[in-house]
Amino acid sequence: MEDNHFKRRLGTASTRSAFYLSKILSVIVISCILTANAGAASQNSTAPTVGDLYRAFETVVFGSEFGAKKPRNKVLKWDQPLRISVHAYDDGLVDHGHQVKEVVFHKIPLTAFQTAVVEKHLITLKMLTNIKSEHVQETGGKPNLTINFVPRFHLANPILAPINPKRLRQLASQQGCYFVLWRAPKTSSIERAVIVVNADSDERQISHCVLEEMTQSLGLPNDTNVKWPSIFSNNQKTPQLSRSDKILLQTLYDPTIKSGMQRKDVMRRAQKLIRQLDASTPMPDNANRP
Parse the chain into domains and list their residue ranges: 3-280
* Mean pLDDT within 78-90: 96
Say if residue 104's pLDDT is above 50.
yes
Say if residue 188's pLDDT is above 50.
yes
What sign does the dihedral 30-115-231-61 (CA atoms) show?
A: positive
pLDDT on residue 42: 42
In contact, 252 and 77? CB cutoff 8 Å: yes
Sheet of strand 145-150, all strands in order from the earlier edge strand to the far edge:
26-32, 177-183, 190-198, 145-150, 84-95, 101-108
Please name the helix (run of DSSP H) or strand (run of DSSP E) that holds residue 190, with its range, or none.
strand 190-198
In contact, 88 and 199? CB cutoff 8 Å: yes
> Across the chain, which distance is largest between two alpha carbons, in Å?
73
Confidence of residue 115 (pLDDT cuts 50, 70, 90): very high
Query: What is the identity of the amino acid at 76?
Result: L
pLDDT, tens digit (0-9, with 9 covering 90-100), for 136-161: 888 888 999 999 999 999 999 989 98
Whole-number Å distance between alpha carbons of 93 and 61: 44
Question: Which stretches of 21-162 are assigned E, i.e. beta strand?
Answer: 26-32, 84-95, 101-108, 145-150
In contact, 188 and 76? CB cutoff 8 Å: yes
Whole-number Å distance between alpha carbons of 82 and 136: 9
Lowest mean pLDDT among 186-190, 219-223, 259-263, 285-289: 285-289
Whole-number Å distance between alpha carbons of 15 and 9: 9
Query: What is the identity of the amino acid at 278?
Result: D
User: Going by C-beta distance under 8 Å and a sequence separation of 6 or more, which residues neighbour residue 51?
Assistant: none
How long a stretch of residues is the chain? 290
pLDDT on residue 285: 62
Phi, psi (deg, nearest 5) at residue 70: -150, 160
Whole-number Å distance between alpha carbons of 167 and 163: 7
Whole-number Å distance between alpha carbons of 6 and 83: 25
Phi, psi (deg, nearest 5) at residue 84: -95, 135
* Mean pLDDT within 253-266: 96
DSSP tag of 77:
B
Whole-number Å distance between alpha carbons of 15 and 256: 36
What sign does the dihedral 173-176-182-188 (CA atoms) show?
A: negative
Whole-number Å distance between alpha carbons of 181 and 189: 10
Whole-number Å distance between alpha carbons of 290 and 287: 10
Better-scored residue on pLDDT, 38 or 99 = 99
pLDDT on residue 213: 95
User: Going by C-beta distance under 8 Å and a sequence separation of 6 or more, which residues neighbour residue 35?
Assistant: 176, 234, 237
Name the pairing type of β-strands 26-32 and 190-198.
unpaired
In contact, 107 and 117? CB cutoff 8 Å: no
